[in-house]
Amino acid sequence: MDIQNLIIIGSGPAGYTAAIYAARAELKPLLFEGRQLGGQPGGQLMLTTEVENYPGFPEGLTGPEMMANFKKQAERFNTEIVSDDIVEVDFSVRPFILKTENKEYKANSVIICTGAQAVWLGVEGEQKYQGAGVSACATCDGFFFKDQEIIVVGGGDSAMEEANFLTKFASKVTILVRRDELKASKIMQRRSMDNAKISFLWNTEVQEVLGDGNRMTGVKIINNQTKETSELNAGGLFVAIGHKPNSDIFKGKIDLDEKGYIVVGQGNTKTSVEGIFAGGDIIDYIYRQAVTAAGTGCMAALDAERYLSSKE
């Protein structure tokens, strides 16, 4: 069996950027774009509509267009792309072993860019109106909600941050909290409470996202104490109830933090296993942007290149 120099797992901005850099350094990377784990090839950008904040594209472009460009650029430098999921890894042997459902691969180094996925509410209408009012990223989509009333769901730091950010555009932001207190840090709580455009509905859960068939128009909510239901009109619903890193297959194989994100060194992309690197949202629950993911994907390729040449 051939031994690959470098296998990259994941096809979001981090994976493809790692591939572009590694391929141009003549490492002949093999990239697994994934089929079903963690969403789909292309990662979370496949779920967004317009991307206006990726530098270099002054007119903006759609998430899927952007990922098609990333892929094309990786292929231009002879990245071999495999349309399959890695389902099992053995990082305790050298070369490392990576398995798909029905094939085994060996590699001298690996870059993990499997990303994360937003946790959704799982209520009726939520999926239908994704990209048509329903979003999980205020930084990405907030701009499209100028002068509209917006609902944010969640009680953590993400929900507070998203709500505050959204007040730049929205006429009003209502935060729905399922308990009678917030989980967010005190400073973030204070910032939201002090913001005149933000109000809270406590003990409140979304039961259904309502719409006119094309766009969402509001939500049906329930007070989980009184069991009273009502409808709330809004042009947007931002779900901020956490993210889940796609790291299940790495449990016990490399160090993960308590939330399941891969732990890397300070200012580099080295994991706890020498020769295994990680970039993108799988190492980052704070910034979560295409451009930051691309940045750490680039770092991972440079780290891998350095590692491989030190072993020659």
Task: Kindly list the catalytic residues.
Answer: 137, 140-141
Which one of the spans 88-96, 178-186, 213-221, 292-300 is the region binding ligand NDP (CB under 6 A)?
A: 178-186
Q: Pattern 269-288, binding to ligand NDP, x per CB under 6 A? A: ----------------xx--
Per rule CB under 6 A, is residue 241 in the interface with ligand NDP? yes
CB of 135 to ligand NDP, least distance (A): 14
Determine contact, residues 9/287, Cβ cutoff 8 Å. no
Query: How far is residue 131's CA from residue 211's CA, in Å, rounded to a whole number?
Result: 13
Minimum CB distance to ligand NDP smaller for 241 or for 308: 241
Which one of the spans 19-27, 88-96, 150-158, 265-273 is the region binding ligand NDP (CB under 6 A)?
A: 150-158
Query: How far is residue 283's CA from residue 240's CA, in Å, rounded to a whole number?
Result: 19
Q: Collapsing DSSP states into helix, strand and coil, what is residue 307?
A: helix
Determine contact, residues 171/147, Cβ cutoff 8 Å. yes
Query: How far is residue 296's CA from residue 308's CA, in Å, rounded to a whole number?
Result: 18
Query: How far is residue 242's CA from residue 173's CA, in Å, rounded to a whole number?
Result: 19
Cβ-proximal residues to 287 (8 Å cutoff; 6+ apart), any chain: none
Determine contact, residues 4/108, Cβ cutoff 8 Å. yes
CB of 187 to ligand NDP, least distance (A): 9
Rounded to 5 degrees, φ, ψ at 310 are -70, -20
CB of 27 to ligand NDP, least distance (A): 33
Determine contact, residues 91/273, Cβ cutoff 8 Å. yes
List the one residue from 130, 158, 192, 296 that touches ligand NDP (CB under 6 A): 158
Per rule CB under 6 A, is residue 191 in the interface with ligand NDP? no
Which of the 8 DSSP states describes residue 241?
S
Per rule CB under 6 A, is residue 242 in the interface with ligand NDP? yes
Residue 19 one-letter amino acid: A
Beta bridge partners of 208: 124, 220
Minimum CB distance to ligand NDP smaller for 34 or for 38: 38
CB of 18 to ligand NDP, least distance (A): 24
Q: Which of residues 111-140 bind ligand NDP (CB under 6 A)?
A: 121
Which one of the spans 22-30, 49-57, 152-160, 227-235 is the region binding ligand NDP (CB under 6 A)?
A: 152-160
List the one residue from 179, 244, 306, 311 that touches ligand NDP (CB under 6 A): 179
Per rule CB under 6 A, is residue 178 in the interface with ligand NDP? yes
Token output for 173: 């932001």
Residues within the interface to ligand NDP (CB under 6 A) = 121, 153-159, 161, 178-179, 183, 205, 241-242, 285-286
